[in-house]
Structure 1
Amino acid sequence: MQIIKSIQNRIYEIRGERVMLDFDLAALYEVETKALNQSVKRNIKRFPDDFMFRLTTVEWESIRSQIVTTFEEVNSSSQIKVMNRSQIVTGLQKHRGTIPNAFTEQGVAMLSGVLKSDKAINMNIAIMRAFVDVRKILLKQSNINEQLTEIKERIGEHDVQLNELYDAMENLIDEKIAQFKWKDRERIGFKIKE
């Protein structure tokens, strides 16, 4: 379970896709980033643009700041440490001169056919489970958003109905006041003694 949490912390959203970066995948597979990328280059036909893409400089700078911020938040809280500082610095330094590749869920699945060690296979299974868990969380979140929207609509309808009730009650009160005034009015005209 801890490995899935660790993997989930390494999934980023870029260009509307949930992706993992090559150096994170290499660390999980326990291979060098260079070896992972070489394996991908040897099998480049397996990795079309919707499976793998190179980040832009702006995207990479944004991700780098997220990685450091995430590390500082995890380190300052009482949560389990996912990566230690040396792993982060090493991962960032490996890409000092180059911009990393980002692998979508399908790209990570395709890596299982390229990297054939037992560690890579087991890690791929864990990564696929992490992607599924992330998808479930997002589905639950969208379901909650739909429910909140429905509640807001109902509340709006109730407000209209309550206003109608208040208006009707005010009308009844006005009628009662008018009746009291009519009964308590000073009578004019002839008075009959009994």
Structure 2
Amino acid sequence: MSEKAPDQTSIAPIDTSHIRNLVYTVRGIQVMLDSDLARLYQVETRILNRNVARNARRFPEDFRFQLTEDEFEILKSQIGISSDTVHGGRRYLPYVYTEQGISMLSGVLRSDVAIEVSIGIMRAFVEMRHFIASNAHLFERIERMELKQLVSQKETDEKFEQVFDFIHAHTESSQKIFFNGQIYDAFSLLASLIQKATKDIILIDGYVDIGTLNLLAKKQANVSVEIHTFNNTRLTAADVATFNSQYPTLTINHTNAFHDRFLILDHQEAYHIGASLKDAGKKCFAITLLQDEALLQELLTHL
């Protein structure tokens, strides 16, 4: 004999919208969990499965099957539940029931509640099929749009990869030459070098003026500047004070020891510059990164 659920004096109306939220897709089939069904039928999960096991011939594989570990993990991640919630304290993997299996349950449980619940579940499945059928065209359009988006994303990714490959193949050169008239290009490169400094800038340039300070004003805030220049520099004390009032801190050192121009960033990078910063781009000149660290240290030592 099958175990019966306790008699019910009243049966609450079955909410089909709630039931629809308990229907999941496993192996491409719409199913319901044994624990969810047990709550709807108002019986314990073990009793539900025990009665089904006693009537195994009524529940072939396409009516009821047990989840694998992988299926169980995927289902948990999809519906955001813990193992305890699904297992209900059990030590075995949950069973799921297809629509045909659910329709068979009412005959196995043999209670008024089981009959009413099975009717409600069947109506929920019918409503879902009607919804899918009536919106099939819309789903097809959404699917086509998603496919187009995937194709577009793939093309975009390929374009980005081409850009990155180009950048990788054209890394920043250690030297750059400018020809007569390339004033803006030269100014832009020097400004970008100055902006790289995070602590200090040392400029060795015999001929500096307001134009030099305009370039140095591109530096980051709180980066100090030290200029080594000839005694007859065109910069006045007022020019230095005006610069320091807005872009501190600038110091001027006078020396005749250097012929060439050098730009040193954070005591780590040194560039040899073929023209004074104020004249950059007016005639052909070059900017070269000093690759030998020993040369940088020797230059700093002479300062």
**Under a length normalisation based on structure 2, what TM-score does the superposition of the two structures give?**
0.40
Return the alpha-carbon distance in structure 2 between the equivalents of residues 93 and 44 of structure 1. Answer: 21
Deviation at 1:55, TM superposition (A): 0.7
Match of 1:79 in 2: none
Return the alpha-carbon distance in structure 1 between the equivalents of residues 71 and 112 of structure 2. Answer: 32
Return the alpha-carbon distance in structure 2 between the equivalents of residues 113 and 2 of structure 1. Answer: 18
Residues 10-45 of structure 1: CA distance to partner in whole angstroms, max 9, x if unpaired? 000011100001000000001000000000000000
Q: Unpaired runs of 5+ in structure 2?
A: 1-12, 144-303
Contact 2:87 2:94 in 1 (8 A): no
Q: 1:41 to 1:2 in 2, by over 3 A?
A: closer
Contact 2:87 2:93 in 1 (8 A): no
Amino acid in structure 2 at the alignment position of 1:131: F
Q: 1:119 to 1:24 in 2, by over 3 A?
A: same
Q: Which has the higher contact order (CA 8 A, sep 6+)?
A: 1
Contact 2:14 2:116 in 1 (8 A): no
Deviation larger for 27-36 or 94-103: 94-103
SS in structure 2 opposite 1:53?
strand
Q: Tell me the number of residue pairs that the alignment of Structure 1 and Structure 2 aligns.
A: 132
Match of 2:53 in 1: 41
Match of 1:54 in 2: 66
The structure number with the bigger radius of gyration is: 2
Residues 40-72 of structure 1: CA distance to partner in whole angstroms, max 9, x if unpaired? 000000001111111111111111222227xxx
Q: 1:148 to 1:14 in 2, by over 3 A?
A: closer
1:27-38 residue pairs with structure 2 within 5 A?
Answer: 27-38=39-50
Aligned partner (choices 2, 10, 22) of residue 10 of structure 1:
22
**Under a length normalisation based on structure 1, what TM-score does the superposition of the two structures give?**
0.61
Amino acid in structure 1 at the alignment position of 2:28: G
Q: 1:55 to 1:48 in 2, by over 3 A?
A: same
RMSD (Å), alpha carbons: 2.5
Match of 1:126 in 2: 120
Deviation at 1:94, TM superposition (A): 1.4
Higher helix share: 1
Higher strand share: 2
Q: 1:111 to 1:2 in 2, by over 3 A?
A: closer
